[in-house]
Amino acid sequence: MTVNAMAEQLKTRDKFVIVSHDGPDPDGLGAAYALSLALATLGKSAVAAVPYRIPAKFRFIDRRGLFVSLAEEGSLPFPAAETTPIIVDTHDMGYLGERTAEFLSLARRPLIIDHHELKIEPGDFELIDPSASSSSELVYLIARRLGVEIPIDAAEAVFAGVVYDTGSFSYPKTSARTFACALELVELGVRPYEVHNRMYESSSDGVLILQKEVIASLELELGGRVALQSLSREDLAASGASYEDAEDLVNIPLQDKRVEVSVLFKENPEGKLRCSLRSKGGVNVARIAQAFGGGGHKTAAGFTCLSPLAQAKDDVLKSVSRSISGRE
């Protein structure tokens, strides 16, 4: 499906609930927020929803307090059975979480807007464009196709999503179209420094403590080409930071000129282990993640670990080693 086709689909529906993957990030949140306002401008009933709550560090995106919690009874203004769900920033149903999956089972067939590496063949209900920098970029293009001029807070939400998923305009998917989108958003009134400040310069001292613990776990393998880090739920609790605060720490080892792939294993407060992978581009970490049931982009991917930490480290290191060897 194209951007134009998705816009036409949206015109034919009236009641929407927009959701993203479990543990939503600024791209998923920004896309959902902006799309809900764009649809409301057309006179549609559109609700942006999260399974439980927005991570504290990303609440600046929800300037109007639009997001509702699917966990709260009666949070939707209309029955689920009358709803067209829109899933943004993933097309992997395994990434939605139990609460969102439960809601989807009661609703109509969902529309999907995503930019990750393909795991399904897109049809008449899926706009999946792996060449796009972010789902927020796609939502902005859809809004333009709908003839909607989005308000400044929606523009800021889109800009935050683009910045986050491009690594501040540095990742390989950053294209001329991405910069054109960013330019238009700035012309609408977005102030890049203010968005950057809210995203990257407004954390608690607990985040610094968390960073210290994660860096202390650093292991360099394969002659320094692979960096492994880990975070236990005990260290997470002791830091006072949130689970979401750990996400960007996987990028730190990439500052080393030798490191080609960085891997972070982190436990959430319930003890579930997740693996995040980052690459400088020479290794397609999305393919590695897919082999473990996950997914993502060529340079940024992840999956939920089904084995204990020691085994997961060994399995991932072997997979990365094979990818590096196969390239040489």
- How far apart are alpha carbons 149 and 147 in whole angstroms? 7
| Residue 261, both tokens | 């792939």
- Residue 110 φ then ψ, to 5°: -80, 155
- The whole-number pLDDT of residue 259 equals 96
Q: Which CATH architecture has domain 205-327?
A: Roll (3.10)
| Residue 229, both tokens | 């880090």
Binning the chain into helix, strand and coil, the percentages to the nearest 5 are 45, 15, 40
170 by DSSP, 3-state: which? coil
User: Across the strands, what pairs with 277?
Assistant: 263, 301
Whether residue 18 contacts residue 7, with contact meaning beta carbons closer than 8 Å, is answered with: no
CATH domain 3-200 topology: inorganic pyrophosphatase (n-terminal core) (3.90.1640)
299 by DSSP, 3-state: which? coil
- The whole-number pLDDT of residue 318 equals 94
| Residue 215, both tokens | 């860096």
- What's the one-letter identity of residue 256? D
Q: Which residues neighbour 326 within 8 Å (Cβ) at sequence distance 6 or greater? A: none
Domain ranges for the chain, please list them. Answer: 3-200, 205-327
- Residue 272 φ then ψ, to 5°: -75, 130
Output DSSP code: residue 227: E
Helices assigned H by DSSP within the chain: 3-11, 26-41, 98-106, 135-145, 152-165, 176-187, 192-200, 205-216, 233-239, 285-291, 309-327
Helical (H) or strand (E) element with 111: strand 111-114
Residue ranges, the chain, pLDDT below 50:
none
Instruction: Note the pLDDT tens digit of each residue in 139-173.
Output: 999 999 999 989 999 999 999 999 999 999 988 89
Report the Cα–Cα distance between both ends of the chain, in Å, rounded: 37
- The whole-number pLDDT of residue 327 equals 62
